[in-house]
Amino acid sequence: MLVMQSVTKAYAHRGKTIKALDNVSLEIDRGDFVSIVGPSGSGKSTFLLMLGGMLSPASGTVLIDGQSLYDLSPERRAAVRREKIGFVFQTFNLVPYLTALENVQIPLFLARLSDAEQKQRAVALLERIGLGDRLDHKPSELSVGQQQRVALARMLANDPPIILADELTGNLDPETSLAILGFLQEVNKEGRTIVMVTHDMRAAETAQRTLRLVDGSIVNGHKATSQKTDLPKGDAV
């Protein structure tokens, strides 16, 4: 379970104090799929970074499975991120001089798996997302959609129970976006918790629940009546 308790984060900008998050409290159950929507500057990315242990609050508490994230040492917090959280971003953050296979192997290398285990798992993940024939391609040799798929495979490398996604369909064409969202639905059905920041309401509707952030506060939200079923399966990504 992910929990925020009275979380506040403020920034100084041109002599003014801007609250990126203003006394936010919420619970996200294990296996939930939540979309976070709101206008630019509403605090969505701050929310996601704080939930993922990458940005400490000015006040309040963030808990993962009952553990207060920001009461941990930086080393232990990094270990929790490595063990429990998979991040995927609009900018992909692929290493340009590494192949698709090598990019997916990075978290496996950091987890100290053997070379054979790294390659076996990375190949399986790339095949799952439809890039089995692109293992030796570098990011510059892949389309934008293919680069996003490599980022998704890398995110899943350590089998994280929690996935945090920031505008991951923002640079993609509609068809590829639908395929990526279908893949997220698939891994959510496997039991993973997903929190997805997006400006795209169609993307938001693929989640089980939508929360709206405005000026750092959650102003409303709704539960989907049912998850979409007309999206491509993960093997079509």
pTM: 0.86
- The domain over range 2-236 is classified in CATH as 3.30.70.580: no
Shortest CA distance to 33 belongs to which of 225, 208, 221, 212? 208
CB 54 within 8 A of CB 224: no
Q: Work out whether the CA dihedral 142, 147, 149, 151 comes out positive or negative.
A: positive
Phi, psi of 134 (to 5 degrees): -125, 20
Note every long-range contact of 118-126, with CB atoms under 8 Å and residues 24 or more positions apart, other chains counting. Answer: 121/157, 122/153, 122/157, 125/153, 125/156, 125/157, 126/100, 126/101, 126/150, 126/153
Q: In this structure, are residues 125 and 153 in contact, taking their beta carbons and an 8 Å threshold?
A: yes
Inter-residue contact 151 to 107 (CB < 8 Å): no
For residue 40, the model assigns a pLDDT of 80
Q: Average pLDDT for residues 6-12, to the nearest whole number? A: 89
What average pLDDT does this structure show over 125-153? 94
Q: Are 24 and 217 in contact (CB under 8 A)?
A: yes
- pLDDT, average across residues 31-39: 93
* Residue 27, strand partner residues: 3
Say what the pLDDT of residue 94 is.
Answer: 94
What is the pLDDT at residue 222?
A: 57
Q: How confident is the model at residue 234 (pLDDT cuts 50, 70, 90)?
A: very low
Render pLDDT for 143-187 as a digit per residue (tens, 0 to 9): 999 999 999 999 999 999 999 999 888 778 888 888 889 999 999
Domain extent listing, the chain: 2-236
Measured distance CA(144)–CA(229) in Å, rounded:
25
Query: How far is 221 from 197, CA to CA, in rounded Å?
Result: 14
